[in-house]
Copies of this chain bind each other. A is one copy, B any other.
C-alpha cells in the first residue's frame, strides 16, 4: 500500500478544518469599531486553533515523510487522528464566546488531549509497521515531547475547573512551546 492517499485525505481534512473555522468569524452587521472589537475572542480562538492544526500538519508531514510503508492499522490510527482533528472547529467556536467558563475550556482541552493521544498512537503504529526498516523506525524518533504534551493537557483540563481563564492561557503557552527550537527535543520533533 502506498501512503499518498493517506496524505491526501489528511491534507483535505486539515485544509477544510482550517477554512471552516473562519466561518465562525461572522460578518458584523455594522461597520463600527465596536463590531470589530467584538470579534476579538473569535479571532483569537481561531488564531490559537490555526496554530494547533498547523503544528499537527507539520508533525504529520514529518512523520509520514519518514515512513516507508503503511498498513491497515496505520490507516485506522490515521482516521482516528482525523476524527479528533475534525472536532477542533466545534470546540473552537464554543470556547470563542466562553473562554471564562469551565465546560467549554475543559472540552477544548479534551479534544487537544485526544489529538495528542491519537498522534502518539499513529506514531507507535507507524514505528511498528517499520520493524523491518530500523533506520525509518529511528527517524520517526522518540515520543517524549508527545507524552509530556498529553500530561500538560490533562493538567490544563484539571485547572479549568478552578480557573478557566488560566487554562485558556495554558493552551496558548503549550502552542508556543512547539515553536521554540529545543536541542534536547530536536530529534523527537
Cα–Cα, bound, A65→B9 (Å): 15
For A13, give its contact among B19, B36, B62, B90 (CB under 8 Å): B19
Could you tell me how many residues of chain A have their Cβ less than 8 Å away from some Cβ of chain B?
54
Q: Given A31-B102, A103-B32, A103-B36, check contact A14 B9 (CB 8 Å).
A: yes
CB distance from A99 to the nearest CB of B (A): 10
Are B94's CB and A28's CB within 8 A? yes
Inter-chain contacts of A2 with B (CB < 8 A)? 65
Q: Is A163 interfacial (CB 8 A cutoff)?
A: no
Chain B residues whose C-beta falls within 8 Å of the C-beta of A87 in the assembled complex? 22, 25
Number of copies: 4
* Interface check A149, CB cutoff 8 A: no
Q: Is the pair A9, B57 in contact by a Cβ cutoff of 8 Å?
A: yes
- Secondary structure dominating the interface of A: helix
Q: Does A154 belong to the interface (CB within 8 Å)?
A: no
Complex contact A18–B14 (CB within 8 A): no
In the complex, what residues of B have CB within 8 A of residue A89's CB? 19, 22-23
Residues of B within 8 A of A7 (CB): 5, 8
**Quick check: is A109 within 8 A (CB to CB) of the other chain?**
no
Other A-B pairs, 5, CB within 8 Å; known A18-B82, A58-B72, A58-B76: A1-B65, A5-B61, A19-B20, A27-B97, A50-B83
